[in-house]
Structure 1
Amino acid sequence: MKSIVLTQRRADWLLAVLAMIWGSSYLWMKISLTGVPPFFLIFLRFGIAFVLVAGLCRSRLRQTTKRLLKGSALLGLLLFAVFACLLQGMETTNASTAGFLVSTTVVFVPLLQALLQQQRPSRTLMGCCFLTLTGIAMLTLQEQLSWNTGALLCIASAVCYALQILETDREIRLTNALLLGIWQLAFAAGYGLLASLCFETPAFPATGLQWGSVLGLAVLCSAFGFVLQPVAQAHTTPTHTGLIFSLEPVFSALFAFLFLQEWLSLQGWLGAALVLTSVLLAARRAA
């Protein structure tokens, strides 16, 4: 089967689809956490995803190298850290504040890239970053921001997410992007299981709804999402990736409206418009 050839425009569209899928993950995580502890949820989510994808790509796994496993181990650790911080932070922080703080990834990506790689982003992209951040604030921040342990953990999640994007950009230039995406799932699951055995009592989903949510996280958000992320990211830039992923809260608000009958305020709709405008502007400038 021939490989899919991606232009930057197609890669950006694929990343936008991933942002839409991940926008639905907040609902599924909330349902799953009613019966499954956080670290064990990470294990189930990424473990099921790895088994599924590995089964579909058995022949390609033979091309795995020690160098690739080393890079995957680091990406898996960052992926585990993203969700470990997020799930723990959401226990003491309201959803709107957590969504705003985690979405600051869009700002951390170019800032960390400038710091670690000495690559100063263009003024246009920096302007889009801050325009996006303003839109996210209007979309999700409905209450006064409170700085507590949960808020700090959500910021840590955003930093880990930004580091994961940057490290993915580095690793895909050195090894196979598809295999990198597959093996990072295995390592994230392993870290989740280890943390669960050390810090909590593992528990499987108790209802069909919980199992459905876990499978949604595993199949769509993880097996499809985190495997294709490095494939798409190989054809675009880290800053661009961070900008497109900022569409997540927009899609999250849409799913909340469709399935929970939650209406956006005028402020929320204006924020969503700002996010969409800034992402489209960045895509047009990069085309």
Structure 2
Amino acid sequence: MKFSKKTWILILAFFCIYVFWGSTYLWNKMAVLELPPFFLASIRFISASIIIFIIARSLKYSLAITKKQLLNCILAGFLFLAYGNGVFVWALKWVDSGFASLLAALQPLIILLMMRIIQRKKLQWKSMVGVTLGIIGMYFLVSQNDIIAKDGMIIGILMIFTCLIAWCSGSLFVASADLPANFFVATAYQMLSAGVLLVFGSLAFGERWKSPLAWEAQTQISLVCLILFGSIAAFTSFNYLLKNVSPEKVSTSSFINPVIAILLGWYFLEEELSLQTGIAALLLLTGVYFINSRKRTKDDVVATKRP
């Protein structure tokens, strides 16, 4: 069977959002074992933004931005990246990468609840089933004594929840915000804004900066992967897919990413996999499936934006 060029591009794009995004949990976990979290995230996003600006300029995209658009990019960058990602990376100092990926899978559930509370949108029956399964799965996941007993685990879980709320708030905000028309340019400004905010955060918390030349090889490789694959390739693929396939198909990354993250964490970091975690994962991902398979309305937003 001979595939067309567009079909190959679609396959490659899905591979990027499935595997690369699923791998970011492992890469962040490996890097944060040596580097301070805000310092790590700031380098990632500033480097990625510079590369995206260079690519956008070479493609002759206009980099012009209004004051309002810049302020909106700064707010979006804070919600998605400076807080949503920076604090998530901080939490990985205590939380296993596979466990964290399962918590992140709750994102569609949280945005549904936020839309219900803030926008007064009705929950369809599939959404209600998904929410119920998600809550039960969440209970199974966090009620494991051997996990909760770990130092810093509870605070790490709570901070990840605040990151999910920040991500979902960013999704609702961006859906109606005035941003540069070109998503590539808008992403670059968001990443640059987040990177600068994270620098100030790193200084405020007194993180010790370390020259890249002094990093361990594992850390250097992880950061390169985060910049090139996690930030640029995956996010570009995400936006390409939104323009060429249905949002439902794109949102399948919500339940593929945790599977990738759990397997990578188990194989490379020897993270434990218990039967209860497996049951929780099945409940959570089934809940996400029900939420993603509900009937879409014109007001729905895609809450899987993770540059």
> Secondary structure of 1:121's partner?
coil
Counterparts in 2 of 1:142-181, with a 5 A limit? 142=144, 143=146, 145=148, 148-171=154-177, 175-181=181-187
Q: CA deviation at 1:275?
A: 4.7
Q: Is the 8 A contact 2:29 2:97 kept in 1?
A: no
Whether the aligned pair in 2 keeps the contact of 1:135 and 1:272 (CA below 8 Å) is yes
How far apart, CA to CA, are the structure 1 residues paired with 2:114 and 2:15? 22
1:271 Cα deviation from its structure 2 partner: 4.3
User: 2 CA distance for matches of 1:14 and 1:280?
Assistant: 21
* Matching residue of 2:27: 28
CA 1:34/1:274 → structure 2, altered by over 3 Å: closer, same or farther? closer
For residues 109 and 215 of structure 1, do their structure 2 counterparts lie closer, same or farther at Cα, with a shift above 3 Å needed? same
Q: Could you report, residue by residue, the CA deviation over 1:105-159 in whole angstroms, capped at 9, with x for unpaired residues? A: 2321111122233323322123224334545665787445478433322221121
3-state secondary structure, aligned to 2:176: helix
Contact 2:97 2:262 in 1 (8 A): no
SS class of match (1:57)? helix
Q: Does 1:50 align with 2:59?
A: no
Give deviations 1:74-111, integer Å, cap 9, x for gaps: 11111210123223334455666655544432321111
Conservation of the 8 A alpha-carbon contact between 2:129 and 2:290: no
Q: Aligned equivalents of 2:253 and 2:128: distance in 1?
A: 14
Q: Distance in 2 between matches of 1:106 and 1:48?
A: 29
**Secondary structure at the counterpart of residue 51 of structure 2:** helix
Please show how residues 177-216 of structure 1 align to structure 2 within 5 Å: 177-199=183-205, 200-205=207-212, 206-216=215-225
Question: Any idea what SS the aligned residue of 1:56 has?
Answer: helix
Q: Quickly say closer, same or farther: Cα 1:17–1:94, change in 2 above 3 A.
A: closer
Equivalent position of 2:86 in the other structure = 84
State the partner residue of 2:268.
259
What letter corresponds to residue 208 of structure 2 in structure 1? T
1:72/1:184 contact within 8 Å kept: yes
How many angstroms apart in 2 are the aligned matches of 1:229 and 1:172? 20
Q: 5 Å matches for 1:98-137?
A: 98-132=100-134, 134-135=136-137
- In 1, distance between residues paired with 2:46 and 2:27? 17
- Using the alignment, how far apart are the partners of 2:104 and 2:294 within structure 1? 26
Aligned to 2:302: none
Aligned pair in 2 of structure 1 residues 172, 123: CA closer, same or farther (>3 Å)?
Answer: farther
- After the TM superposition, which of the residue ranges 14-23 and 31-40 deviates more from structure 2? 14-23
Match for residue 217 of structure 1?
Answer: 226
Corresponding residue SS for 1:170:
coil
Q: CA deviation at 1:62?
A: 3.2
Comparing 63-72 with 32-41, greater Cα deviation is found at 63-72
Quick one: distance in 2 between partners of 1:282 and 1:103? 11
Q: Give, in whole Å, the separation in 2 of the partners of 1:285 and 1:126.
A: 10
Aligned length: 279
Which structure 2 segments of 5+ residues have no match?
A: 297-307
Contact 1:135 1:270 in 2 (8 A): yes
What amino acid is aligned across from residue 222 of structure 2 in structure 1? S
Post-superposition offset of 1:270: 4.3
What's the Cα RMSD here? 3.9
When residues 17 and 245 of structure 1 are mapped into structure 2, their CA distance, relative to the original with a 3 A threshold, is farther
- Alignment partners' CA distance in 1, 2:107 and 2:257: 11
Residues 1:17 and 1:116: Cα distance change in structure 2 (over 3 Å)? farther
Please name the residue that 1:69 is paired with: 70
Structure 1: where are the runs of 5+ without partners? Answer: none
Post-superposition shift, 1:265?
Answer: 4.2
CA contact (8 A) 2:108 2:288 kept: no
In 1, are the aligned partners of 2:98 and 2:262 still within 8 Å (CA)? no
8 Å contact 1:48–1:218 — kept in the other structure? Answer: yes
Letter in 2 for 1:187: S
Q: Residues 14 and 132 of structure 1: is their aligned pair in 2 closer, same or farther, counting only changes over 3 Å?
A: farther
Mapped contact 2:78–2:197 kept (Cα < 8 A): yes
Residues 16 and 237 of structure 2 are in contact (CA less than 8 Å); yes or no, is this contact kept in structure 1?
no
Residues 81 and 157, structure 1, Cα contact 8 Å, conserved in 2 = yes
